[in-house]
Structure 1
């Protein structure tokens, strides 16, 4: 689902750190989306099933912004650095999703507050379907790599290499000793090819030199491959590091808003007791709107980063799988609990990458449903949540 994984053949003790790191990096994005689910549920006791579609529209906002900045089909790009383009796309996507969250809350959910919860749930599903199918009438399909390969600076596509264990010295020495013979055989074969009519009808000398070159090449490459395999390395694409760093930065900002500002204290008060907060003079409507703004903006940030660094074609169903996985992450951590959403997202990412490492990549999306069923059976309240019965 997320960025291309580093090339690890299978899950072994030595490759486990690579899959774990991949999972944590991907899980940070799931956590960012899951925060929107958990914040809305915390203040309204409502599962916002349209959150995945807010994420999808945030990706489209990033795409259309890239077109407006000169990265559309047939365009050569703007005259300013790509980093500035990425920053503009991030701000536009977050702002657009924040505005969309306000509109959804005001016109879809607020009229349903006095109604039974099932009415709000049906409304959420209706809004989700409206964006999915209504969007097909007006939104383009983004061919890969409409954003990813044009907007990304080249340096973000190269990986950072972290060596946990140096390669075996004897194997390195063997490969090094074979390299001169390989290069000499290659040079001799290249010179001989100039005197041959074609490679399908070689002279006896040409056949001998070609065979010598092939044998030397095979021996050197096998030795080099074994030496490289004896090392334990972690490869992290720089694009993923940018995504992870941005996600952590936004989570820190969220923590500061919730714990250190009056708006955050109002959110916690409304989450604790809706009616008591209103009697204490807290504007419940403004607090709920602020919650939707923050949650939707975080989804917009996640959408922009994935659409930019991933390269998957955008469709109006682009938010379905990430939305489901982020919802499972919120439930796993304890829906309504902000630290729980972060923990759930990270665990979700690690679980998905471990499934890939075990050779079952075709089931990596199904692991979310397996986790959801397991949580509901064993601990319905999630890791940090409370298991209490509520009437729907």
Structure 2
């Protein structure tokens, strides 16, 4: 998707760099159009390095290409963050005195403005009138956050966090094919305590599960995210239920699944846990350490499959490595048949793949082990591919 990211001249301009990164990591092609004042806060070199595109504020650049018209015409989404009081006023008045405001006039795609300014500016009748005018024309204007502003001031006018802006912006162009659906997603990696300071865990960061939850929310679902030790923040617009161990995740997911249309088990759940958890920290001694006896944890995915109600879909994830008994595809196929989930998403992990990375490469199998699709790219792109496969199997009366 082609996104035009406008940046106007406020101290919050630095946050737009994180917003740009979120858009590009999700696989979108982003052109940054700052105002001249914005370049006083963040230079053109930063925007060019992060976006991979030339940056200008001038309508007289690339005159033969008619860039002041083409940028707005070809955009699928326009986001302005921060949108200062001056930018809101010029946009409401229909001015076109720089590349950003000219592009706003030309754009016929969804437009989202994220205001940031001092509280007095936000509450001024002129700004209130400008916001009302823009909203009346169909422009989406976010409410600013309340918090610390420039200097010692605090109040409404703070730029919303980049993750919140991203979710709101992408929701404007996402298909609403999960509207009215109840979805449960597990994410992250469980930790099984050995003693008060040590645990058995895995390398899952929760990125893929969080991306799945964010995509479902964008597509209209009511989402519960069961997060186990997430290394990334939960997306806006979802209900987060935090867990630590496999047993806690089992309980939380199965409870949430009772009224869900879709359950996606993306969390990396420990297969084993210590039989006995030491009451005190295990001390290092001169002799050999005592062995840690392990027992199996509950098979959460199998339980969800056996308990699913008519019309409910259960999606599993399988992080695999090849070994002497077969490659990733072999193990994934066998697991799909053994588990019986409606879909199983298989990905190779290890050697810098899968866990903790921004990208993923997966194969989607049905319950018979048959490949029904593949997806590669950012974890946001993979998430949408998984939901496409889910939507194709949802019954109208699920």
Q: TM class by shorter-chain length? A: under 0.3
Higher relative contact order (CA 8 A, sep 6+): 1
State the TM-score, normalizing by the size of structure 1.
0.21
In terms of fraction of residues, the more helix-rich structure is 1
**Which structure has the bigger radius of gyration?**
1
